Structure 1
Amino acid sequence: MVKLVIISDIHANHEALRALPEEYDELWVLGDLVNYGPQPREVVAYVMEKASMVVQGNHDHAVAYDDDSRWSPRYRPIAEATRRYTSSVLSEEQKAYLRGLPQQAQAERDGLLFHLTHAMPTDPLYGRYPTETGRWDSALDGLQADVLLVGHTHMPMLRKVRDMIVLNPGSLGQPRTGTSLASYAVCQNGHFELKSFRYPVEATVAKLRELALPRPVESELVAILETGSV
C-alpha cells in the first residue's frame, strides 16, 4: 500500500520542509510553496525534485503572474513585501514551474479517488470551506471523489461529508493553530492521520531577519512563526 505524506502552505520555510520527519512513497503538496518565508528558491527546488503531485496556491499564482489583486487587506502588506522579494530570487525556470502548476488535480491510489486543490473546488485559489455542517453538501455538489484534499486556511481538519473524506493537513511552514508546530497528514491503507512536529523556528526567523524587510512586516512575520497566531 502506498504511503502518502500530504503537506500544504510551506510558505518558503525550508527549515520546516527539510525537517519533515516522515518517510513516504509519495509527497503531495497542496499549494502555497512561496511567500511569507525567507527561502522560496530552496523550497521550490525541493518540491520540484521530490513531490509527485502539486497544485497551485494563491501565493504561487501571485508570484508566477505578478498578480495580487485578490489578497485581503489584512494580509496585503506582508504578502506584497515578500512577493517582491520572492520574485527577485526565483529563477525563470522556477517561476515557469509555478505558472504551470494545475489549480486542481485528481489521482487514484489504492482504490481511492483523491481530488486535490488549494482552497475549494468551486474557487481553487481563494475559496473557504463552510463553517456550517449543512452547507457542505452544496459546496461539494457534483464533485466525484472519495477524498478531497485542501489547504489555504493553515488549520488542520479531518472530517467526513456524506461519503467523502475532507482533509486539510494544516500549514507546514506558517502554522496558525496557536503553536509553532509544523503540520502535515499521512494516508496509508485507507487510514488518515493529522500529525505535527517541531522544527528549528529560530533558524527560519534568523533567515527572515536577513531580508531587510520593512520593520512592521518583519515583526508580524516573526510573531506568526513564533506563536502560531495571526
Structure 2
Amino acid sequence: MRICIISDLHANIEALSGLPRDYDELWVLGDLVNYGPDPAETIEFVRSHASTVLRGNHDNSVGFGADCRCSPRFRAMADATRDFTVSAISAADKQYLRNLPTCACRQLNGDVFFLCHATPADLLYEYRPPDSPLWAREEEASSGANVILAGHTHLPFSHTFRNRLVANPGSLGQSKAGDSRARYAIWQDGQIELKAYPYPVEKTVAKILALPVPEEVKHDLVQVLRTGKVP
C-alpha cells in the first residue's frame, strides 16, 4: 500500500495538479483553502481524490467565520484572502469544510496512525517546532498510535521520538522550506519519505496578482511562493 500524504494546499491548484498520482490512497492533513487563488478547484480535487481529509485552521476559519489564529506576520494575508475565499466558493463547499473532522485514526499493516492538522494536544492551532520535546509526550488523543502525521507549520520533517514516528509532509501549496517546490510525503512498506517537486509557480503568481486584495498582501503572498520563506 502506497499512501500519499499532503497538507496545507492553500488553494494552489497548480501545485496540486502536479502531484504524482502513483499512490493507492491520498490523505490530506488540512488547510485546503486560503492564501491561494483557486479554493473551489482545490476543494473539488480533494473531494474527488482523497480517502481521508482533515479540517485545518484556515478551513475552519472559512467554514465557520472563525479566527484562524495564524501568526502575526500572516494575519493580513489570511484575513484578506479569507474574504476572497468566502466569495469564491459555494455554500456546499463551505458545508464540506465544516463537516471535515479535526483528527483521524487509520491502521495499516500493524501501524496505527494518528492524523491531525496541528498537534494531538491542539488539533487546529498549536505551532510545534520539528525538534520540540513535546512530540515525545504521551497525549490522550494519539494514545495507541505509533505514527503521528501533522501539518500546519509548513516545515517538513520526520523524527522518531521514543518508539513513535512523527512526520510533517510540509506544505504542498505554500512552501516555507526555503524554495518554491511543493512538498508531500509517501508512506510505503513501513517507511516514510519526504518528497518535493517543482510546479509552474508563476501561473499561481499571476492569479494572485489579479485577486481583489490589497497590494501589500499580494506582494507578501508572491514572495512566500517564490522564495519558500517568511517575508
In structure 1, what is the Cα distance between the partners aligned to 2:155 and 2:228? Answer: 10
1:116 matched to 2:119: no
1:124/1:133 CA distance change after superposition, 3 Å: closer
Aligned residue for 1:38? 37
| 3-state secondary structure, aligned to 2:66 | coil
Question: Sequence identity, in percent?
Answer: 49
Superposed, 1:219-230 pairs within 5 Å as 219-230=219-230
Instruction: Output the TM-score relative to the length of structure 1.
Output: 0.95
Alignment of 1:126-137 (within 5 A): 126-129=125-128, 134-137=133-136
State the match for 2:181 in structure 1. 181
Shift of 1:134: 3.9
Q: CA deviation at 1:109?
A: 1.4
Tell me by how many angstroms 1:129 deviates: 2.4
For the residue of structure 2 that corresponds to 1:75, the secondary structure is: helix
Distance 2:155 2:171 in 1: 7
Cα distance between partner residues in 1 of 2:183 and 2:134:
26
CA contact (8 A) 2:25 2:51 kept: yes
2:180 maps to amino acid: S
- Two-structure CA RMSD over aligned residues (Å): 1.4
**Residue of structure 1 equivalent to 2:162:** 162
Q: CA deviation at 1:212?
A: 2.8
- Partner secondary structure for residue 137 of structure 2: helix
Residues 58, 68 of structure 2: 8 Å contact kept: no
Structure 1 residue 69: Cα displacement: 5.9
Paired with 1:143 and 1:130, the residues of 2 have a C-alpha distance of 21
The structural deviation recorded for 1:191 is 1.3
- Range with greater deviation from structure 2 (28-37 or 139-148): 139-148
Contact 1:180 1:227 in 2 (8 A): yes
TM-score, scaled relative to structure 2: 0.95
Aligned length: 229
Counterpart-to-counterpart distance in 2, 1:133 and 1:153: 13
Q: Point out where structure 2 has 5 or more consecutive residues left out of the alignment.
A: none
| TM-aligned CA deviation for residue 22 of structure 1 | 4.2
Cα distance between partner residues in 2 of 1:221 and 1:43 = 18
Structure 2 residue identity aligned to 1:30 = L
Give the whole-Å Cα distance in 2 for the aligned partners of 1:69 and 1:158: 26
